[in-house]
Structure 1
Amino acid sequence: MTHNSEKEDYINELKGLATALEFTPAIHRVKMSNIHQICDSLPREELVMNLCDGSDIDGVPGPSVAAYLEKLTHPNVIGCDSLFIENTTTKNGMKEIFRQHLVSTPPGFPATRETDIAKEVDSWGMTYPLFVKISDSYGSVGLDDNSVCHDLEGLLAKCEELLKEFPNLTVEEFIDGQEYSILVSGNSRDENQTVIVYPPAERAFNKDLPRFKRFISFVRNWDEAQYAHQYAPVEDANDYNALQDLARRAYVSVSGNCYGRVDVRKRDVSGKFYVLEVNASCGLGKGSSSEFILNLAGQTTQDFFQILLANALKPSIEPSLSQTQLDLVAEPEELAEADDVVATSLPLIPPVIEEKVNKLIHHPSLATVPSPVMHVIVSAVLVDAESGIPDPEGKLALSYGKDVEYVSELEGIIRLIGFDPIVHLYHVDEVEKILSELNKESDLVFNACLGKDGLEVAEVMRKEGFKLTVGLNAQFFEESRNRRIVRDNLSKSRLPIPKGLVVKIEAGKVEANIANVEKAMVEQEFSFPVYAKPAIAQRQQEGIHSGRKIDSAEELRALFEGVVVDLPDELEWVVEEFVGGREFRVLVAGDARDPNADVIVFPPGAFDPKVVKSKSSGDLRAAVTASREGLDTGSATNEPVPTTGTETTNTNQTTSSFLQSLRRLSQNVLPKRSAATAANQQLSYSAMKVPQDLMLQMDIQDLARRAFVAVHGSCYGLVDVIKRDDEADESGYGGASGGGLVVLGVSGDVRFGENARAGTLLRLAGQDAGALWGWLVKRPVAA
């Protein structure tokens, strides 16, 4: 059954497919006026393939055909049912379903003649350019180059034009980037059927097209198809998996059955995927995206129809026949007299065909088994005009995106351990609302945000009462970011820390602040050089935000004066003795709040500043600053373990007023930090030597475990330890090796991935992030 009565090539292709499958084709050309007549005439023992994919609204048969066949309870229908078709008929309806099922879709709203467009744009917080399309249409009707609107004037003009003819529009953010199509088949509501997700295909637009014309307008769809785009396979493995995951969830959300195509776009500035729509009964055959996708899976259109036939001819198990109900024991009911009913038997699938279908659906390119979901909250990063994003029209406003490389690595790790990651961007997506709608008892949530963002998300998760979480909890975020609290907790646990104090810097009282520091130095018996750092740790600390080695009271005075001018919100600083010696970093994992929980302490990574070359300072001070602020770009040396890794960190420029306050001093008084400098510094880790350092390694691991417990560590953290150069040994640790061990700090700002510092430490231990995460997800904790 088809409504394409005028397309003889299409009709002949359908006949050829039916004949190849050893069926005798009978083509029924359906119109709105003859739906009942044709459906009533169909013999119940014969197969019916319903290919009517209109909307009814435009006079082209679609939902009404499926609905009437269902009313007739025809037993042998192949095609999308009325529920799937109804759910995907309007773009506004689909968008609402996607939101309800947490399927990412472009921010947008429905628009009618009564809608205050400007008010809706503001209330949704939408960013230009925006895209306008007809809600109840298909085939790119109403789409032209003016559908992309760069300002309110253009938006109102396009809406006014379309509303003259069409009553319902969709206004959404234009997702500037690549476009993809993914074919999906199977009944998502039948647990006995396999939902098959085919390889994604990129709709690769002609590069000669201007950037904001790279979408399928009506003209480019029907008259310039060959010029406008071609299809290409998706080469990036992570994008490939992410597209299949998202397509499956979109298909299931709209109650997909039989088959459909999911259209997705990827925003260039963030790398995030957005579902545009799901097309039930999408086009099949020559020249379609489906033909290209099937070729990627090693299938032909004939193979695809054979799979659809096999699925359709497998009888579904009714709920009344489920195992639970079969096990119930009840008295037999008396049979009442009734008319004889002859059930129509479903045709049997020949064994040779069933064997062929089984081979087809086990092609390695197909995704057939859904994985459990993990919700991942990740910080968005601000994208500005200097980010290198091409903007020839100058129309892009400031926007947020995600740390594409880091999130891509995270998604890869999560898939490796058997979960489908759903990424939510903090600052972009309505994370608080999303979290409020998740199941607090059963949904698994990973807070991948760091620093202040991580604390805010953790507090929301704690407020909501999530039972299954991975990532730092709110308490560990609060305590590990505050160096004063860290020092207090370590001291209460009788752990060795550098001598020092917390200074509240006050405008006009810098001399008094210096005097307090010098007094404390006398009382605690330490002297310059000291190490100064903000009491509240900040992400990616550089320049004025970073800690630094201070050699004299004059340098400390210059620092305090700069802080008063440029950092009025960071007036509390820690000043502590500068402990010279060999530094180590230890990765610890587990929930230290639970006395019965496992805590893993990985082997320490030894840091050697001698391999670090700073182009700006001429000495090792910048290396010291970098190591103690956790800014290691570290590549692990080949001695003694041939394992390497490099982590780079974005930097902030120092403000001019602070630099002016330092120019009174000689050029080398304070290490100057810049993006170029950080990029050229490499902090190196190496594994400790065994058996020479075995006792020292055990002492460091024990100290790291106790430090992690002292600050109520959760999930994972990094502990920095130094073995003193001097002979002072008040700790009880490392005495046999000459100098005592001191805890420099504990941090929850841990990044996982190929080039992250935690990844480097894992590789030195012969492990990887996948192994650690496989261990962590089996031990989720309450927020």
Structure 2
Amino acid sequence: MKPDAAQEPPQKSPLILVAAAVEPEARPDVADALEARAWVCRALERAGWAAEAWDITPSLLASPEGVSGHLEKKRASCVFNLFEGFGNDSGAEHRFRSLLEKAGTPCTGNSAAVLETCLCKDAVSSLLRGKGIPVPEGKTLLPGDSLSLLNDLPLPLFLKPLREDGSVGIDGNSLVTDRDDLPLRVGEKLKFFPGGIRAEEFLPGMEYSVSCIGNGPYIVPAVSVIDYGKWNAGRPFLDYGSKWDPDSPLYSLTPEPAEGTLKERAVQLASEAGKTLGCRGYFRTDLREKDGTLYVIDINPNPDMGSGGGFLRQCREGGMEKEDVAARIVKLAIENGRGGKEQW
């Protein structure tokens, strides 16, 4: 006889592991992922999933068996990936994702290959330029390289680490307006970032930011713009402090919703850049303007999901609540894991 429905055991909710870095002395940009993890867990549980925090520590990542063993034990339906590497090891981001891919567990966001490519600024520049997408003129410098490599680049120049994200290494010494300052500025940057730096033509116009969601084609909740001419903040670019230090004069700067033809062009370029790099799930594209032309300056394939971050702000401006954003991202990951194809 069939038991009464009220006596049947309840169905278990699919488990989502929410991964984020945990280390003893985390930089603010790394620690911010823990705040994001808290709201993501709550959002997923409200959407009907079981959500469980997963601490990714340096010792765990050093043991691939530990990662695969945890996945096998938990049998999660998906990993919500908020792991952006460690303070002294940005490359850990794509290595962790690679372990998830080897285990066959669906994972939110971009693949290990995309994460690794986007971490290297000259690789991104080369790929985009090859598809006709405007990028700033630039050169890569490694320790021991001659500064004569920069002779063909127009001033001012902007210096940034070759393999970092989250505005790490961007500060008041990043903008160079006098060639006589190059030996000191370049030397300082290479001292802290021996893996290389990227020197690019600085674009003086407005800065646009485009958040994209989807496996292709992408939806764009909103586009933001910063007109530095309206702000008396001392420098015409966002540095590390502007995002992570409340005492920074740029910390209170709030981008405005973009409008007009440049907004539409920003959306077009962001979509083309994402398609070129193979982005899936979600990502953010930053662009700057010069003489009416937009140039892609950065692709963030694993953007900050903190409540105060630009990605969620644009989602809110587009009418998307963060709970809906989290659920959509998980569904995209599961679709991707099942072999979902782009519909370009």
TM-score (norm: length of structure 1): 0.37
Distance apart, 1:220 and its partner CA = 2.5
Percent identical pairs in the alignment equals 22
Distance apart, 1:281 and its partner CA = 1.2
Structure 2 distance, partners of 1:109, 1:30, is 35
Give the match's secondary structure for 1:29. strand
Q: Give CA deviations for 1:689-741 in whole Å, capped at 9, x if unaligned.
A: xxxxxxxxxxxxxxxxxxxxxxxxxxxxxxxxxxxxxxxxxxxxxxxxxxxxx
Distance apart, 1:57 and its partner CA = 6.2
Distance 1:60 1:151, change over 3 A: same
For residue 232 of structure 2, the aligned residue among 197, 202, 208 is 208
Distance apart, 1:98 and its partner CA = 1.5
Alignment partner of 1:217 is 2:239: yes
Q: Give CA deviations for 1:121-165 in whole Å, capped at 9, x if unaligned.
A: 23xx32111111111112222222221111211222110111112
Q: Give CA deviations for 1:170-203 in whole Å, capped at 9, x if unaligned.
A: 0000000111111112234xxxxx4223321113
Q: Which residue of 2 aligns with 1:38?
A: 67
For residue 92 of structure 2, the aligned residue among 48, 61, 67 is 61
Q: Which residue of 2 aligns with 1:9?
A: 35
Q: Give CA deviations for 1:80-121 in whole Å, capped at 9, x if unaligned.
A: 21111011011122111111222111100100122222x222
**What amino acid sits opposite 1:215 in the alignment?**
F
Alignment partner of 1:18 is 2:41: no
**What amino acid sits opposite 2:122 in the alignment?**
N
Distance 1:132 1:225, change over 3 A: same
Q: Which residue of 1 aligns with 2:210?
A: 182
Structure 1 distance, partners of 2:67, 2:123, is 30
Q: Give CA deviations for 1:280-315 in whole Å, capped at 9, x if unaligned.
A: 110113111112211221101211122222222336
Distance 1:231 1:369, change over 3 A: farther
Structure 2 distance, partners of 1:73, 1:166, is 34
Q: Which residue of 1 aligns with 2:150?
A: 121
Alignment partner of 1:230 is 2:254: yes
Alignment partner of 1:304 is 2:325: yes
Q: Give CA deviations for 1:610-654 in whole Å, capped at 9, x if unaligned.
A: xxxxxxxxxxxxxxxxxxxxxxxxxxxxxxxxxxxxxxxxxxxxx
Alignment partner of 1:257 is 2:280: yes
Give the match's secondary structure for 1:33. helix
Q: Flag the structure with larger Rg.
A: 1
Please list every run of 5 or more consecutive structure 1 residues that lacks an aligned counterpart in the other structure: 189-193, 323-367, 371-783
For residue 141 of structure 2, the aligned residue among 111, 117, 120 is 111
Q: Which residue of 2 aligns with 1:135?
A: 162
Give the alignment's Cα RMSD to 1 decimal. 2.5
Distance apart, 1:274 and its partner CA = 0.8
**What amino acid sits opposite 1:47 in the alignment?**
C
For residue 291 of structure 1, the aligned residue among 309, 312, 318 is 312
Give the match's secondary structure for 1:25. strand
Distance 1:78 1:222, change over 3 A: closer
Distance 1:4 1:34, change over 3 A: closer
**What amino acid sits opposite 1:94 in the alignment?**
V
**What amino acid sits opposite 1:102 in the alignment?**
G
Structure 2 distance, partners of 1:14, 1:204, is 32
Distance apart, 1:249 and its partner CA = 0.9
**What amino acid sits opposite 1:155 in the alignment?**
L
Structure 2 distance, partners of 1:46, 1:266, is 42
**What amino acid sits opposite 2:50 in the alignment?**
T
Q: Which residue of 1 aligns with 2:3?
A: none
Q: Give CA deviations for 1:585-606 in whole Å, capped at 9, x if unaligned.
A: xxxxxxxxxxxxxxxxxxxxxx
Relative contact order, higher structure (CA 8 A, sep 6+): 2
- List, as ranges, runs of 4+ consecutive aligned residues in structure 1 with deviation greater than 4 Å: 4-8, 225-228, 315-319
Q: Which residue of 2 aligns with 1:171?
A: 199
Distance apart, 1:254 and its partner CA = 1.4
Q: Give CA deviations for 1:719-778 in whole Å, capped at 9, x if unaligned.
A: xxxxxxxxxxxxxxxxxxxxxxxxxxxxxxxxxxxxxxxxxxxxxxxxxxxxxxxxxxxx
Distance 1:178 1:84, change over 3 A: same
Q: Which residue of 1 aligns with 2:131?
A: 101
Q: Give CA deviations for 1:231-282 in whole Å, capped at 9, x if unaligned.
A: 210122x112100000011111211111111011111xx1110111100110
CA contact (8 A) 1:262 1:275 kept: yes
Q: Counterparts of 1:139-538 in structure 2 under 5 Å?
A: 139-167=166-194, 168-188=196-216, 194-205=217-228, 207-210=231-234, 213-223=235-245, 224=248, 227=251, 229-236=253-260, 238-267=261-290, 270-314=291-335
Distance 1:317 1:302, change over 3 A: closer
Give the match's secondary structure for 1:131. strand
**What amino acid sits opposite 2:327 in the alignment?**
Q
Structure 2 distance, partners of 1:45, 1:112, is 42
Structure 2 distance, partners of 1:230, 1:174, is 22
Structure 2 distance, partners of 1:19, 1:318, is 25
TM-score (norm: length of structure 2): 0.82
